[in-house]
Amino acid sequence: MNDEKHLRLDPAPREDWNAAAMRRAFIWGACLLLAACSGGMPKLFWDVDEGKDQPAYMRGANTAKGAPARPPLDVPPVLVDKIQLPHPEAIGASEGAPLPARYRRYITGKAVRLDARFYPVAPAELFSATVDAMTALGLPVEAVDSASGVITTDWVRKGRISSVILFGSGSKLVRYRFLARIYRAHAKSGEQGALLELRTVGQVYDPSSGRWKRARIRRKPARELFGAIEERLNMPAPGQASTPQAAR
């Protein structure tokens, strides 16, 4: 019978390995503690009263509060009339009021088509509907003068220039602009309301000279604008006033 050989592990190496692991854990713990104290890592420990003298946002407090109320703005008396909205009764021109000089340049010496319609509404309502209609049609509104009842637009171009036109057979490129004015007026029956005078200034492009020349525009752009205004007033299209009861 062969002798059995028993393999036995020496406990000494196991004890040395455990001691080395404990030393490494101690060294790493000491390094972490030193790093935290020196500010190189997030702080791991706090005192009980630490941070009370810090701002609220550093203490994690909720700072989402409404801004303090501001005192009312003091407006100089000379500017009060310039920033206040006009009274509805002051919107629109009086019957017989001439066109202000600053707007006469729009029509002086120009080819102008005049259309006028009376509406049984307040001038302020017609004024607002006219501005809204121009904006809805994409017209470039230029001036809005409620006291004078005047609304103007910049030029609107229509058409194009082809190669044939460039060589002298004519021009299909036109442009127009509006000058609208609202009056406080009365119908022939005595009904009180507002009168809209719409002036359409037209020009046609001359390829031979490269300039815009006066040209009487068709009534279509004015009809489109009147239709958009009446849509906002929620009323059927009234008859055109051939003899408006207001100054030209």
Residue listed under structure tokens 């080395």: 20
pLDDT given for residue 91 in this prediction? 86
pLDDT given for residue 218 in this prediction? 87
* Dihedral sign computed on CA atoms, order 37, 43, 48, 54: positive
CATH class of 88-233: alpha beta
Residue listed under structure tokens 């390995």: 17
Q: What 3-state DSSP class applies to 69? A: coil
pLDDT given for residue 247 in this prediction? 35
Nearest to 117 by CA among 34, 15, 237, 30: 237
pLDDT given for residue 242 in this prediction? 38
- Rounded CA-CA distance 202/215 in Å is 5
pLDDT given for residue 165 in this prediction? 44
Q: How many residues does the chain have?
A: 248
How much of the chain exceeds pLDDT 90, in percent? 40
Full DSSP string of 27-58:
HHHHHHHHHHHHTSS------TTTTTTS-TTT
Give pTM, 2 decimals: 0.59
Residue listed under structure tokens 């854990």: 25
pLDDT given for residue 14 in this prediction? 53
pLDDT given for residue 117 in this prediction? 94
Cα→Cα distances 93→38, 51, 128, 157, 206, Å: 80, 70, 14, 30, 37
pLDDT given for residue 71 in this prediction? 58
Task: Decide if 139 contacts 178 (C-beta within 8 A).
Answer: yes
Burial letters for 58-92: b for 16+ Cβ neighbours within 10 Å, e otherwise?
Answer: eeeeeeeeeeeeeeeeeeeeeeeeeeeeeeeeebb
Q: What 3-state DSSP class applies to 127? A: helix
- Rounded CA-CA distance 168/145 in Å is 42
pLDDT given for residue 18 in this prediction? 62
Enumerate the domain spans of the chain. Answer: 12-60, 88-233
Phi, psi at 230, each rounded to 5°: -65, -30
- Rounded CA-CA distance 85/108 in Å is 31
Q: Show pLDDT as tens, one digit a residue, over the chain (248 residues).
A: 455 444 454 555 555 656 666 777 667 666 666 655 555 555 555 555 555 555 554 555 554 454 455 555 555 565 555 545 566 677 888 888 899 999 999 999 999 999 999 999 999 999 999 999 999 999 999 999 998 999 999 999 988 765 444 444 455 789 999 999 999 998 888 888 999 999 999 999 988 888 999 998 888 999 999 999 999 999 865 544 433 334 33
